Amino acid sequence: MNVNQSAPPVPPFGQPQPVYPGYHQSSYGGQPGPTAPHIPYGAYNGPVPGYQQTPPQGVSRAPPSSGPPPASTAQAACGQAAYAQLGQGDVQNGPSSTVQMQRLPGSQPFGSPLAPVVSQPAVLQPYGPPPTSAQVTAQLAGMQISGAAAPAPPPSGLGYGPPTSLASASGSFPNSGLYGSYPQGQAPPLSQTQGHPGVQPPQRSALPLASSFTPPSSGGPRMPSMTGPLLPGQGFGGPPVSQPNHVSSPPPQALPPGTQMTGAPGPPPPMHSPQQPGYQLQQNGSFGPARGPQPNYGSPYPGAPAFGSQPGPPQPLPPKRLDPDAIPSPQLNELPPQQKTRHRIDPDAIPSPIQVIEDDRNNRGSEPFVTGVRGQVPPLVTTNFLVKDQGNASPRYIRCTSYNIPCTSDMAKQAQVPLAAVIKPLARLPPEEASPYVVDHGESGPLRCNRCKAYMCPFMQFVEGGRRFQCCFCSCVNDVPPQYFQHLDHTGKRVDAYDRPELSLGSYEFLATVDYCKNNKFPSPPAFIFMIDVSYNAIRTGLVRLLCEELKSLLDFLPREGGAEESAVRVGFVTYNKVLHFYNVKSSLAQPQMMVVSDVADVFVPLLDGFLVNVNESRAVITSLLDQIPEMFADTRETETVFAPVIQAGMEALKAAECAGKLFLFHTSLPIAEAPGKLKNRDDRKLINTDKEKTLFQPQTGAYQTLAKECVAQGCCVDLFLFPNQYVDVATLSVVPQLTGGSVYKYACFQAENDQERFLSDLRRDVQKVVGFDAVMRVRTSTGIRAVDFFGAFYMSNTTDVELAGLDGDKTVTVEFKHDDRLNEESGALLQCALLYTSCAGQRRLRIHNLALNCCTQLADLYRNCETDTLINYMAKFAYRGVLNSPVKTVRDSLITQCAQILACYRKNCASPSSAGQLILPECMKLLPVYLNCVLKSDVLQPGAEVTTDDRAYVRQLVTSMDVAETNVFFYPRLLPLTKSPIESTTEPPAVRASEERLSSGDIYLLENGLNLFLWVGASVQQGVVQSLFSVASFSQITSGLSVLPVLDNPLSKKVRGLIDSLRAQRSRYMKLIVVKQEDKLEMLFKHFLVEDKSLSGGASYVDFLCHMHKEIRQLLS
């Protein structure tokens, strides 16, 4: 990103800069204070509660941010640093100084960013406020100008640069602020054009021009993409683009194309030094633009200051923020000296996920989240918080894209914000929170509305003295059965409301009566069947031996309910290669008996009694069996395997035993043996980026769908562990797990010695986790909206019931809602998710989650109550499903379009008026572009050369049932510096943004995304550190690709290992550690996860994307 940005930015900036300075300053000076900025910020703040707080926070933040301010000082530092800082700074500045800068069109964008930066000190707070603006106006314009934008950042960066250090802090703040600023910053870019053109003075006037320019510039470089911004980014084109744009105007000014160029591509740092002056100018310029905008921003920023207070005004302000350009100017003012060097958009000036996360953590992590109030936006998933259930379901169970939904479908259509809920019905709770109470209504079963069949919940209205109740979903009035009657108190509440979970809590369970059971018979306890591939591959890798050894002890940890002494789950064993081997492990036998079923064309279960057994009763036989399995097949030469018949057999076994259950399949190769479900190798990389690419994600044969359907009908959930050496067609093999609510685990090139920890850990967790079987989930809603689409691992035979053969605490279902009528602002919208399932002890239950949402007639309310993480979760799932039917490019484009529409709608309807060159983002969605960009460049949507078809299918499948926290970290990995904070500190080190620029070669970093874990070691890390972590003398002696850290008795080693352990504990899958050395070939792998950077596969950098997004938005607006 930097590169791109830098390049383009530079030139423009360069040019502008000179100008800018003046402008900026001037602008800043004037604008900041006066400008509306405050308002915008305020507005933003307003929206976000957090933000509101921001002021104070801001303050708190401010410090850091303020730190940044030093940015100016920092500026001197590095461009990069600067960026970061700038970003922050911008934000900060934005608020405070931003305002000033904003105006400068061209520079503005940047400026704005800068501005924020500038303000940073105060800024943070402002940012807080900015949020409002944050929503921000990241003046994309500037960004796009890419050149411009980029430059902008740099400048700010510069300024911030110093702040960098601060930046981090500020960075975090920036988030809130940054975002605000970002927008601005970005905006600047957009404005850049403007700015540039305008080069400062002219800029503004030019701004328009600039903008126009930008396009050209971008256009020039890549007209088509226009994405101009993107283009720039991409092209970095930016340089050219930006250049053109900027250049056009600025070039002359900016001049030294060279500089520009350098600056742009140029690693920010280098740029800086040389250009610094220029940069500063540029920055100014960029900022200028930004700054230019800044003035605008200024206004917004000003708002920022207001932020604290501003909450109210925010929206209007935001628009102003566009001016961020103006903001930059302020920065410029400050920065100029130092920062001027940079031309690019300062990455620090654009919204930082890290900052947002940190802010939320600080603001909301300390107090419990009380669910009593309707439509409250919960803390982010990255924040640790306690939940107190007071009538609405905990966000651990349900998260929504928006907690305030439009009353009408017109509004919804206009906003384009998907209305979706991410539901994790059986989510695991932290030990401090009580799991849902179980309510037993005896023979009559749970009380339900007669018409819509909704279950009794706290929102039901009791009337007529308690003799009747009105359904809160369909308004039907129902009689209260005599045994349930209770008097009402003076508020119309039942006297016993607080004695009954179903009247006072958001989540609770009912014991189901026999009417809710299959065949009107209470279910028997479920069974687990372990089905082990014993073909040559499985034996050779040591898998079978390892697995059998592990199972011996693992069987003691089958899930049990509550305080049960022993698990009710029965177990069975099957091994297979080309044929299936069932085992009779009846307790009365001295030795297990093996039964071979070779009729794979029409597989069946050869035995009933003795196949599924209680572990404790048959322990001796089972142990004997597990001892013998590896021996029996030790000399096997069978390489062919079957697959569908294995599942079929497991399913038939459960059917014969008349119970639900789970199959654990351990499979190694493409099933090529002659049998149903036989597959052929159809992996064809040539299909990538063609219309036929989708076939790679589609199953090869329909047989598996049919099979899955049967499995679902039987309540047979399939968990698949894959150990492929080569292509196994995950897309097809995962169909059944996917449709039955199972999980897929993939261990490519498995070797027992290297991968056993990861596999065993996953296996343990998978076997032990509590599962609900044979489940049906239904989501009921208030009249007016309706659940229309569902995403996740399940099967649906009709349009309303989600059927899950198995459902565990990790599985998530994303539900999309659409209007089919008007909603009432007063009564809000209610969701009730009812899950009927069989517990692992065989008890039939209903779990109910209720959630009340607000409804709004103002779009602003919608934008204020959105949750970007959830939104991304939805959009990723939507897109990942889309690849099944459309070319990947179409999917990507539609994502971008939707995002642009969302933001454009905001800009048009909610943001305060501002220059078109400014990018203004809603505070709640200021991370939308960065996250969306991560989705767009994920392996599924934009595969790199090293990504196999299987990997893509695997990831696609994984994401489908991820919850919000998982998608969050999956798309935007956490990058933790290990050596920056003092060893003594016990807290997790603050994360840094996922960009190469953030890495310093003197440090060690840990990166995780929920699936992978990397330890990146800088080339110039102190020897002492190397010694104490790796027990080798020097950097060069560290084994690249190491997967285990030596256990050493020193604080650093302990701390790092402790941190790794704790990270692993947070994720549902074990992350294998890979040690990556700087400049090593493995680093490519690692860099793939630095999602803010341009990716090798062509994915845009954050800055570029922001520019592109800005351009899109502007196109929509114009």
Partner 1 sequence: MATYLEFIQQNEERDGVRFSWNVWPSSRLEATRMVVPLACLLTPLKERPDLPPVQYEPVLCSRPTCKAVLNPLCQVDYRAKLWACNFCFQRNQFPPAYTGISEVNQPAELMPQFSTIEYVVQRGPQTPLIFLYVVDTCLEEDDLQALKESLQMSLSLLPPDALVGLITFGRMVQVHELSCEGISKSYVFRGTKDLTAKQIQDMLGLTKSAMPMQQPRPAQAQEHSFISSRFLQPIHKIDMTLTDLLGELQRDPWPVTQGKRPLRSTGVALSIAVGLLEGTFPNTGARIMLFTGGPPTQGPGMVVGDELKVPIRSWHDIEKDNARFMKKATKHYEILANRTAANGHCIDIYACALDQTGLLEMKCCTNLTGGHMVMGDSFNTSLFKQTFQRIFSKDFNGDFRMAFGATLEVKTSRELKIAGVIGPCVSLNVKGPCVSENELGVAGTSQWKICGLDPTTTLGIYFEVVNQHNAPIPQGGRGAIQFVTQYQHSSTQRRIRVTTIARNWADAQSQLRHIEAAFDQEAAAVLMARLGVFRAESEEGPDVLRWLDRQLIRLCQKFGQYNKEDPSSFRLSDSFSLYPQFMFHLRRSPFLQVFNNSPDESSYYRHHFARQDLTQSLIMIQPILYSYSFQGPPEPVLLDSSSILADRILLMDTFFQIVIYLGETIAQWRKAGYQDMPEYENFKHLLQAPLDDAQEILQARFPMPRYINTEHGGSQARFLLSKVNPSQTHNNLFAWGQVMK
* Residues in contact with partner 1 by the rule CB under 8 A: 579, 581-583, 589-599, 602, 604, 606-610, 624-625, 628, 631-632, 637
**Closest CB to partner 1 among residues 618, 957:** 618
CB of 464 to partner 1, least distance (A): 52
**Closest CB to partner 1 among residues 564, 596:** 596
C-alpha closest to that of 158 among 111, 191, 192, 215? 111
CB of 569 to partner 1, least distance (A): 21
- 33: its two tokens: 């204070």
- Measured between alpha carbons, how far is residue 72 from residues 155, 274, 338, 568, 818 in Å? 9, 17, 6, 66, 49
Q: Which residues are CB-neighbours of 394 under 8 A, at least 6 positions away?
A: 369, 371, 387, 427, 429, 433, 506, 507
Q: Which residues are CB-neighbours of 706 under 8 A, at least 6 positions away?
A: none
Question: Is 236 in contact with 265 (CB distance < 8 Å)?
Answer: yes
**Closest CB to partner 1 among residues 398, 529:** 529
Measured between alpha carbons, how far is 699 from 949 in angstroms, rounded to an integer?
A: 12
**Closest CB to partner 1 among residues 514, 608:** 608
Place of tokens 């998907």: 418
Angle at 886 between CA 881 and CA 889, to 5 degrees: 100
Q: How many CB atoms lie within 10 A of CB 496?
A: 14
CB of 549 to partner 1, least distance (A): 17
3-state DSSP assignment of residue 72: helix
C-alpha closest to that of 630 among 556, 542, 555? 542
Distance of CA 930 to the CA centre of its chain: 10
CB of 588 to partner 1, least distance (A): 9
| DSSP bridge partners of 854 | 404
Question: Is 1038 in contact with 1026 (CB distance < 8 Å)?
Answer: yes
**Closest CB to partner 1 among residues 592, 676:** 592
CB of 614 to partner 1, least distance (A): 16
Question: Is 1064 in contact with 1071 (CB distance < 8 Å)?
Answer: yes
**Closest CB to partner 1 among residues 254, 603:** 603
- Measured between alpha carbons, how far is residue 957 from residues 694, 874, 971 in Å? 14, 14, 15
CB of 653 to partner 1, least distance (A): 13
Question: Is 423 in contact with 814 (CB distance < 8 Å)?
Answer: yes
**Closest CB to partner 1 among residues 394, 577:** 577
CB of 547 to partner 1, least distance (A): 17
**Closest CB to partner 1 among residues 485, 604:** 604
CB of 428 to partner 1, least distance (A): 39
- 675: its two tokens: 């049998």
C-alpha closest to that of 93 among 154, 21, 180? 180
| DSSP bridge partners of 941 | none
**Closest CB to partner 1 among residues 416, 593:** 593
Q: Which residues are CB-neighbours of 770 under 8 A, at least 6 positions away?
A: 426, 428, 559, 561, 808, 809, 840
CB of 682 to partner 1, least distance (A): 25
Eight-class DSSP state of 310: T
C-alpha closest to that of 586 among 572, 566, 565? 572
**Closest CB to partner 1 among residues 596, 1019:** 596
CB of 609 to partner 1, least distance (A): 4
**Closest CB to partner 1 among residues 640, 1083:** 640
CB of 941 to partner 1, least distance (A): 43
**Closest CB to partner 1 among residues 591, 690:** 591
**Closest CB to partner 1 among residues 538, 1013:** 538
CB of 631 to partner 1, least distance (A): 8
**Closest CB to partner 1 among residues 491, 588:** 588
CB of 572 to partner 1, least distance (A): 14
**Closest CB to partner 1 among residues 596, 1096:** 596
CB of 749 to partner 1, least distance (A): 25
CB of 642 to partner 1, least distance (A): 13
For helices 964-971 and 868-882, angle between their N-to-C axes, nearest 10 degrees? 80
Measured between alpha carbons, how far is 157 from 153 in angstroms, rounded to an integer?
A: 5
**Closest CB to partner 1 among residues 595, 1085:** 595
Start-end of H helices in 523-682: 536-540, 543-554, 619-632, 644-657
Question: Is 229 in contact with 142 (CB distance < 8 Å)?
Answer: no
Measured between alpha carbons, how far is 912 from 204 in angstroms, rounded to an integer?
A: 18
CB of 596 to partner 1, least distance (A): 4
Question: Is 59 in contact with 323 (CB distance < 8 Å)?
Answer: no
CB of 387 to partner 1, least distance (A): 48
**Closest CB to partner 1 among residues 595, 760:** 595
Backbone angles phi, psi at 1028, to 5 degrees: -75, -15
CB of 592 to partner 1, least distance (A): 5
C-alpha closest to that of 917 among 121, 145, 22, 10? 145
Measured between alpha carbons, how far is 1006 from 991 in angstroms, rounded to an integer?
A: 9
Start-end of H helices in 392-492: 409-415
Measured between alpha carbons, how far is 102 from 108 in angstroms, rounded to an integer?
A: 5
Measured between alpha carbons, how far is 128 from 50 in angstroms, rounded to an integer?
A: 8
Burial label for 798, CB within 10 Å (0-12, 13-18, 19+), is exposed
**Closest CB to partner 1 among residues 274, 606:** 606
Rounded to 10 degrees, the C-alpha dihedral 1072/1075/1078/1084 comes to -30
Cα dihedral sign for 1064, 1069, 1070, 1071? Answer: negative
